[in-house]
Amino acid sequence: MSILPRRLERIKSVLNCRMQNLTVLIEDVNKPHNLSAILRTCDAAGVFEANFISKTNAVKTFNSTAQGSQKWVRLNNHEKTIMAISDLKNKGFKLYGTTLNSESADYRNFDYCQNTCFVLGAEKWGLSNELISMVDQSIFIPMRGMVQSLNVSVAASILLFEAIRQRKDKGILPTSGEGLNIDEYHKTLFEWCYPELALIYKKSAKEYPKLNDQGEFDPIENN
């Protein structure tokens, strides 16, 4: 089995810049254009996986704003806030809740070079009090206009690209796959190169085959 060299090169160049230590937790953002825009920004910034909590169990939908980015950024679904938080904290993430309350601090005062998760709230209500009480730090983007808040996807972009700026300044932005653990890198490379086959392997609970430098593999070897 093989993949076109240009396609393989493109996939590798994107995967090489992905980071497992930068993410977002999105709470109840259900408008397709907002969710799509956040995922598109995650893709552009190099976020490997995003997190989502939906208390209403609404089905997530994406529209053309996503430009297919939902295929390239994994979205972890969490049914309950407590489960999302403990999962992220176990992975060592510092949680920055985005709120406009009085305990919130200017987002420019923090260092986002280590494991960072920006927690984003619903269009109408913002973050739930439950979630606010569980974050490590509340932050806000200063506003100077008549309108009190930004669109949630705009806020996500500002914060993620601030993290990118800081990491670039420190010379720690990944360029050769060092932002992912090696197993995750190879697993994702296979899924991105051969998405339909990856589904078949998953269904039969088989391990993906290892790709060679040309992105080829021997299917027989894995039967």
Contacts with ligand SAM by CB under 6 A lie at: 98, 100, 120-121, 123, 125-127, 140-141, 143, 149-150, 152, 155
- Residue 12 C-beta: closest distance to ligand SAM, Å: 33
Q: How far, in whole angstroms, is CA 44 from its chain's centroid?
A: 10
Contact 91/83 with Cβ under 8 angstroms? no
Contact 143/150 with Cβ under 8 angstroms? yes
| 3 vs 100, beta carbon nearer ligand SAM | 100
Give 69's DSSP letter: G
- Residue 221 C-beta: closest distance to ligand SAM, Å: 48
Residue at shortest CB range from ligand SAM: 126
| 121 vs 177, beta carbon nearer ligand SAM | 121
- Residue 123 C-beta: closest distance to ligand SAM, Å: 5
| 123 vs 162, beta carbon nearer ligand SAM | 123
| 131 vs 164, beta carbon nearer ligand SAM | 131
- Residue 136 C-beta: closest distance to ligand SAM, Å: 15
Alpha-carbon distances of 42 from 4, 66, 69, 221, rounded to whole Å: 26, 10, 8, 36
| Distant-in-sequence, close-in-space partners of 121: CB < 8 Å, separation ≥ 6 | 27, 28, 29, 98, 99, 127, 128, 131, 152
| 104 vs 115, beta carbon nearer ligand SAM | 104
**DSSP helix/strand/coil, 76:** strand
- Residue 193 C-beta: closest distance to ligand SAM, Å: 35
- Residue 142 C-beta: closest distance to ligand SAM, Å: 7
Say how far apart CA 118 and CA 24 lie, in whole Å. 5
| 67 vs 149, beta carbon nearer ligand SAM | 149
State which H helix or E strand residue 153 sits in: helix 152-169
| 155 vs 163, beta carbon nearer ligand SAM | 155
Q: Compute the 3-state secondary structure of the chain and give helix, strand, coil in percent, each to the nearest 5.
A: 40, 15, 45
User: Can you say whether residue 4 is alpha, beta or left, with left for phi > 0 and alpha for psi between -120 and 50 degrees?
Assistant: beta
- Residue 107 C-beta: closest distance to ligand SAM, Å: 7
